[in-house]
């Protein structure tokens, strides 16, 4: 399936950007997205898991682009 280059760039920035932000400062990201609520320890652990998932999906997208599975117009 062919994707536009702008869409692929947006996906890469989205996955890597939020992934790194959630891994680097999960408390700040949680407070920003939940409009000021303080996170519980369980929420912070979940935020780090979601950050790892974002990095994983970003790497998966790069691998798909490298091997030609995902085509860019």
Structural domains of the chain, count:
1
Full-model pTM: 0.84
Which 8-state DSSP code applies to residue 20? H
Q: Find where tokens 């932000």 sit.
A: 21
Q: Which domain holds residue 20?
A: 2-72
pLDDT, one tens digit per residue, over 20-57 is 999 999 999 889 888 888 999 999 999 999 999 999 99
For residue 2, the cross-strand partners are: 71
- Model pLDDT, residue 1: 64
Residue 27, SS3 per DSSP? helix
What is the C-alpha to C-alpha distance for residues 46 and 2, in angstroms, rounded to an integer? 33
């Amino acid at each position: 399936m062919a994707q536009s280059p702008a869409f692929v760039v947006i996906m890469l920035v989205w996955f890597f950007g939020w992934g790194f932000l959630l891994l680097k400062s999960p408390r700040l990201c949680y407070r920003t997205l939940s409009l000021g609520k303080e996170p519980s320890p369980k929420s912070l652990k979940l935020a780090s898991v979601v950050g790892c998932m974002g990095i994983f999906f970003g790497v998966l997208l790069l691998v798909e682009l490298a091997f030609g599975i995902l085509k860019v117009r």
